[in-house]
Amino acid sequence: MEHYADAQDLTVWTSSRPAQDCYPTYDGITKRWSIIIDRSGNRITLHPAHIICCMGTMGTEIVPHVTNSERFKGTIIHGADFKTPESYRNQRVVVVGAGNTAGDLCIDLSTCAESITLVQRSQSTLIPAEILRNAENRLWPDDGSIPVEIADFLAEATPINLRRLNSKIIKAGGGGESGKYAAMYQGLREKGMVIDDGADGEGTEFQVLERFGGKSPVKTSATNELMYRQASVSEVQTLISIH
């Protein structure tokens, strides 16, 4: 994932984790956190404005069944096992899934793979990042005008149906599919993507809560061919599944 770190201008610390003997603390005056990081045995205190927990949506990955997988002579892995694109240099790769992780892997693989085929299993919900960012900034403003503990309480105490209505209003107010982002939606559809903006314009939040994921009807019919519905990809060397 070196390319991702470079593209996003990220500072990456490996062999690091929050200290196990203390919790992060928040200073309401400076609007900063204090957190101790154990970096390869060295304790380092940081004072960030925000702490984001990125631990995976559902924890353990789901490995789907691939019909006739024993006949496939290439490599089949889950996206969680993807480490570096160099392992797939000059290979024909199929990525099953069309979410954020699949997109990141395809960008990474584009630096060295011979070809990349992305298989979209079902319709994808797309909400522009700007709309979501503006919505979160209203509830958790950067200027600290709403204390974090109050913003957290308001977010979690809002009745589910009111949250649904609010999601529709926020999406519509940001332009969405029929507004300033219409060209983006149209361009993706012209490239073959099947997309929407959620049930009744609700976005992705309630799909995660109520549905999350699906099955992967991919099968092999030969030693190096993958089939998905009526389509097939030949001379495949690696299959990466994102679930």
pTM score: 0.61
Write the DSSP symbol of residue 30: T
Q: What is the mean pLDDT of the chain?
A: 80
- Nearest-angstrom CA–CA distance, 194 and 209: 21
More confident residue, 80 or 172: 80
Q: What is the pLDDT of residues 162-221, one digit of tens each?
A: 877 777 766 554 455 667 788 888 888 888 888 877 766 666 667 666 665 444 556 555
Tokens of 139: 């509830």
152 vs 165: CA distance, rounded Å: 19
Token pair 């196990």 in the structure block, residue: 20
Percent of the chain with pLDDT strictly greater than 90: 22
Task: Please choose, from the candidates 92, 174, 79, 192, the residue with its C-alpha nearest in 3D space to the C-alpha of residue 130.
Answer: 174
Q: Is 208 left (phi over 0), alpha (psi -120 to 50) or beta?
A: alpha
Supply φ then ψ for residue 217, to 5 degrees. Answer: -80, 55
**Digit-coded pLDDT (tens) for 90-140:** 999 999 888 888 888 999 999 999 999 988 877 887 777 787 788 788 888
Joined together, the tokens standing for residue 219 give: 């099968």
Do strands 124-125 and 195-196 pair parallel, antiparallel, or not at all (unpaired)? parallel
DSSP-assigned beta bridge partners for residue 93: 116, 238
Contact call for residues 19 and 36 (beta carbons, < 8 A)? yes
> 200-222: b or e for each residue (b if 16 or more CB lie within 10 Å)?
ebbbbbbeeeeeebeebebbbee
Q: What pLDDT sits at residue 169?
A: 63
CB distance 212 to 59 below 8 Å = no
Q: Is 88 exposed, middle or buried (0-12, 13-18, 19+ CB in 10 A)?
A: buried
Beta strands, E only, 40-91? 42-46, 75-78
> Does residue 70 sit in helix, strand or coil?
helix
pLDDT at 68 over 70: yes
**Amino acid making up residue 35:** I
Residues 131, 175: Cα–Cα separation, whole Å: 8
Reference 131, options 89, 177, 85; nearest CA is 177
Q: Looking at residue 158, what DSSP letter applies?
A: S
